[in-house]
Structure 1
Amino acid sequence: MGFLFLFPTAFLSCALLVSGITYSEFVHPNFTASNLQYAENSGSFLTSRNGTFKAAIFNPGAQQTNFYLCVIHVASNTIIWSANRDDPISNSGEMYLTSEGITISDESGNPKWSTPAIPSPAYAMMLSEMGNLVLLDRSNNSLWESFQHPTDTIVMGQLFPVKASFSSAVSPTDLSTGDYSLTLSSSDLHLQWRGLLYWKLSMDTKAYINSNSMVEYMAINRTGLYLLGGNGTVIIQVALSLSDFWIATLESSGRFIVKSFSADDWMDDFVGPSDSCRIPFLCGTVGSCRDGSASNTCSCPSNFHSVSPNRTGCVPTDGSYSLYPTCNSTDHSTHLIPSVLSYLTIGYGYDYFGSQFSGPVRSRVNLTACQDLCSGDCSCLGFLYENSSGDCYWIKSYLGSLISDIQRGEDLLGYIKVLVGSSPAKPGVKNDQSTKFPLSALVLLPSSAFILLIVLGSLWWRRQRISRDRDMKAGQYNLPSPEEPDAFQIPGLPKRFDYKELEVATDHFRTLIGSGGFGAVYKGTLPDKAVVAVKKITNLGIQGKKEFCTEIAIIGNIHHINLVKLRGFCARGSTRLLVFEYMNRGSLDRILFGNGPVLEWQERFNIALGTARGLAYLHSGCEQKIIHCDIKPENILLHDHFQVKISDFGLSKLLGPEQSSLFTTMRGTRGYLAPEWLTNSAISEKTDVYSFGMVLLEIVSGRKNCLLRTQSHSLEEDSSGTRSSSSSGSGLLYFPLFALEMHEQGKYAELADPRLENRVKRQDVEKLVRVALCCVHEEPSLRPNMAIVVGMLEGKIPLGHPRMESLNFLRFYGRRFTEASVIAEQENEENVLLYSQANACPTSTTSSSRKSMSYISSQQVSGPR
């Protein structure tokens, strides 16, 4: 797919002479401007042809000390580029245009900034209607452009090439280079704080990865932000609502924002990172930000207190401690005596922005080894230790803010490196105390520590030996096999629970809340009062144990508001337990198809949108793409206020050969299976898109995809309570085909859940039906990806048009489904399930069994929710 972007065209029309404060889009050499000279126009001396942009010697925020050569968007008075950002001048400082380029000098005539050497004499300086400040020669060739040297913003039509970067300003009034930077690599867009990565575009839920080709440049047009390859190929895209003017800027706060200007105001359309607690210095040094909090409340962890109310950070509460100084790249020696180095704990439940990108320094180590590693490197300023996996993460080079992550509970323990006693010695500067420290102590301290370690190690080994002997006598101890989780290293495993701990939490697995092919699910309460769902998995197969650990290492590190959080696991013999957060409203199928209060339309829409966002994250937001393979209402769970979370993602690979009969060589649930399952075609994320489309039709109608038909064309209930759509004839109707027919006739109101009683607008139903039909195209390439689906639901992307030629297969399925139902009625065989290809709903000859058999089959095929 290629996109056409507007490029600045260097041309000259009749040049207008500039005198006094007269505006022009051109000025010529021997031109001089200062803020004082153009004070009546706020320093402006040049405008674009239609007045969209202006160039000025400008003082942002009306402060009177720092003046810059700026290009400004007139309507919003927003600076999109500045020249001398690190060398401001006073209001009497001047800009000179000569044949050699542009020079900015202070009031004494000392040069502060200038353009680099140009290949030929400059004939004019032009400000284009796109906001590009350009030096031209006599042949109208570009000699230098501000677009090629962005500061902290790009605009529509501006190309940002690979390996280019720009930096944030210190503040809205101080345009000097800040600590945050944006860089475009050949594969992604990165945000960094002092050189440390804290965000990637590809990991954002609104970004869709279209190709793995090399990125060549970034640009914005009227519909989106794009990372493009050769010939305009889209590599990564972020869909935006339609607008005539967009800018993308890295704010001084560290947020990357794409925003549009309309109605005299800016509208933020895309923000990265979406969770501002992921901004490295939001709460200052060692300050803690509450993860996901709307107010982003900052506080200090235990053993630390705030140094000021202005979020500049936290320092040790005990004045005898001070933060460890950062070592420089030329001298890693701190010249500190051994006794002054120590650690202060910040307690459990804290995360650090760098952990997500740098990974652990070492895995499967104990806490002492993690501390020793940090002590041996002056660039390590603290560490996080994960109890469940033994992973050791460093807080390296610079101390930023912490993230309060209550979901990790008592699994992640943090420590900050400090100095005890005297003020910290600066790297490379000798500490006077070191000369007074007794030589004997320098010898005895390491020896004593070594002896102490030996003693402690012996005691630990003896204790483990006694414990092992006791367990073996009780017949409860199994020697580790090569397949056991402890026998190999898999970084990133979530918390590992003891079996007895979960047995107590579930009251000996008393409260069953689900069952199926994987095993059973029980409700439990952990010691910290957190309510959880414990999934007991059995029959993993011969190779299932190692695959189990690999899978939970992946899904245990996935954090998204629309995905069920895995809190931990337990491995005992052939039994595996997964511990998930508990969703108190249960699964969507029970609310959607049950006899409880009807779901209102807005609730249905929110459920559809939340599900789409969760799938989009699985497909393109994770470092490792995850295809769910079993999207259905039973695997869509709901919490308070109908918060949506997808469950069972990434677990289908755990099934062993002995369970293959449940899937009849396919993964997923009949009624939601994409056609490619039948043709042995490649399975991709578009398989989930198809299933989502089927679920979306059920959300609209409030009924399963198979409906009982009677002689009328109304919506009725059969004797079992199943609502049905009826028309001439008898038997069962394949609802996706009925939806297609109503779409062709424009009768969308016929498809809405009748229990809504006209409390939904026709256009709202049409929106979801059209999205659903686009998702169930027979050809996977014609289905939109989930990022596009989210865009269509949010209204940021125009609705797609279902392709009839790729939906005709529904007519075939419908005919086969009707034939199956007629045969079942003629034979009058009760409790016989008939399927038409992979998409027929389960049927029976009696209405009393129809509802129950359909529900049971769905659970048996996919496993517990």
Structure 2
Amino acid sequence: MPPYMIPLCLIPFIIQASHSMGAQINETTIPEGSEINIAGPQSWVSPSGRFAFGFYPKGEGFSIGVWLVTDPSRFIMWTAFRNDPPVSGGSILLTAGGSLQWIPPNQGFQGKVISAAPTSATSAAILDTGNFVLYDAKKQVAWFTFGTPTDTLLPGQNLPPGNQLFSSVSDTNHAIGKYRISNQPDGNLVMYPIGAIDPNSAYWNTGTYAQNFLLTLTLDPNGTLWLFNRNSPYRMVLFLTNQSLSASPESESYYHLTLDADGILRLYSHVFFKQGGAPKTKVEWLVPPSNDRCSVKGVCGPNSFCQVTSSGETRCSCLPGFEFLSANQSTQGCRRAQTAIFELSTNGYAEELGMGAYGTVFKGVLTNSGNKGIVVKRLERMAEDGEREFQWEVRAIARTHHRNLVRLLGFCNEGAYRLVYEYMPNGSLANLLFKRDATLPSWSNRIAIALDVARGLQYLHEEIEVPIIHCDIKPENILIDSSGMAKIADFGLAKLLIGNQTKTFTGVRGTRGYLAPEWSKNTAITVKVDIYSFAVMLLEIISCRKSMALKLAGEECNISEWAYEYMFSGEMKEVAAGKGVDEVELERMVKIGIWCTQNEPVTRPVMKSVVQMMEGSMQVQRPPPPASFSQSLR
């Protein structure tokens, strides 16, 4: 029913009814020193049993407030400390000092005053109107909840000029939400989003700003809602209850006006039947009306839009390329969808580059960065492993900055985890060495690649504050940039050495054929496992052969045994592939490879020594036989 001017002849009747109903106040006195607590009893109840004041459940704890008892649910009418987190314990005490306080369970903490009474209280009561009142020694009202409304007006409660109601966050969270209704000094009752001061931000008003006098909003016990001026006969009825429905001998009705979390102002009725049974709750009036709910500014939050369904409900949807901030709270708005960004940048994951630890790698382009090439690694394995792998990879590579390590450009840690790396146009070392019909890199280029990897490993092992064991050095994890420089990639299995650690215990990580013997011994591992894997790869770089596809005298062998046999027999040239091989350099590289694949970790050189030997600044002695094929086959 729209607002209208009520005939003056009806005013005395309504005022008289209002006063007579308001005069029927029942109360049970709560004396000084009375206390309720979460362990029980949790509340003080009005004489009729319809209203209660005390602790009510909120999330994992409790809040303090007044509610209408409508079992099995409850309607919250007033809340203390709205924006505070829930409490897990404590009590409410009407102290000897005359204040109402929440007393925390830990005695070392000071209580928190609920009432702001100018005089000391000696008693209290929760009335059948829903008003919780403190009285002084003269039985005068010292403080009452009706004087500090939150999001609701009850019958007999006013919203004077200059006062506001603030919506809650949700039906279960009564912290201050997104909307307010303001009884403005110009006489206009206006609804705004919180924080908005521009009149153009208002989404509903009574249009009473031209009356040139102050108005008070009030709700009568019979459910009539109106604006009036205390010094004139002016009355403007916003809603007039059907008296025949509200005055039934078989039932009694309770009303309240609430600014709900969705920004809609609703007048509720709760009909309690004298013969018992569940009460009947109904929305008697609301603004904006059902067909105009999307007029509420910001009802769906940023980056979204509102639609009214056929049932009159609002439905929030995200703009294209955005996703909800909270899947359970669509009214909180949307943010740019990380998944959509990745799908757009990879053209729907169209070009697969290969597989990494726990995930697939795709090529993409950042169109807003000059079509910069990127690689998106999408983790796809079981959730527990995928999350652990993601954390390892981000933690490891975020600590590093070296020319021979692939650079992490960004990541998404929601939903399906994704990592974004710089794109290496020349692909992986495995493609260069083993891909059929590929042009074999020259000897000098292959040695340069090996030295790049060695320097990257030296940095990881010896030159950063927290050493990193890569745990999966192999040609597939070495990428080549546009200038031919090699960079270590895929830190998904990496292990960080925290503090003064030089070794660590962990489950087997890595790839068959590149695993050091100690992985199978249930013993601590060190950076020497990377040195073993590097040596296997170094011999693959020299020979352009896969380490697991070799035989000696018809028997399978690992690549270091194979290379040692040729070195021992004086046929070193048989180890190297391609033309232009430097035989002195070849011998040095083979010796390094065999030294680094020794069975005992202590016998293998550290990475700094490996780099020096590869550069020719350190002499390389003739090595003993390497670990056998059976020891390295895992």
Greater Rg by CA:
2
- TM bin, normalised by shorter chain, reads 0.3 to 0.5
